Amino acid sequence: MDASQAEALAISALGFVAADPALLPRFLALSGIEASQIRQAAGEPGFLAGVLQFILAHEPTLTAFCEATATEPTRVSAALRALPFGDDHFEAST
């Protein structure tokens, strides 16, 4: 997966999180940003990787995202590794 494909997938994941009334507050709390800062933060290196880490850290969220977007879970992991600051050394959330 190349960087542009990874970025597109991460932007899709961000839209998924932003549209969910339960996930968005959780994401904001864990990331430490305000809802009004999302657009600005999305341009920062590492932010999109953080979105994918958030998705990957919680299996029910990953499953819901993959089902909603017809994306294989392995593609989410591959996208993470293709992004700046992306690796799969994240802490699982509960």
pLDDT for 84: 83
For the segment 51-60, the average pLDDT, to the nearest whole number, is 95
Is the distance from CB of 26 to CB of 94 less than 8 angstroms?
no
Specify whether the CB–CB gap between 85 and 49 falls below 8 A. yes
Q: Is the pLDDT of residue 93 over 60?
A: no
Q: What is the pTM of this model?
A: 0.86
Asked if pLDDT for residue 89 goes beyond 70, the answer is: no
Count the helix, strand and coil residues of the chain and give each as a percent rounded to the nearest 5: 70, 0, 30
The model's confidence at residue 39, banded by pLDDT at 50, 70 and 90, is confident
Whole-number Å distance between alpha carbons of 13 and 69: 9
* pLDDT band with cut points at 50, 70 and 90 for residue 54: very high
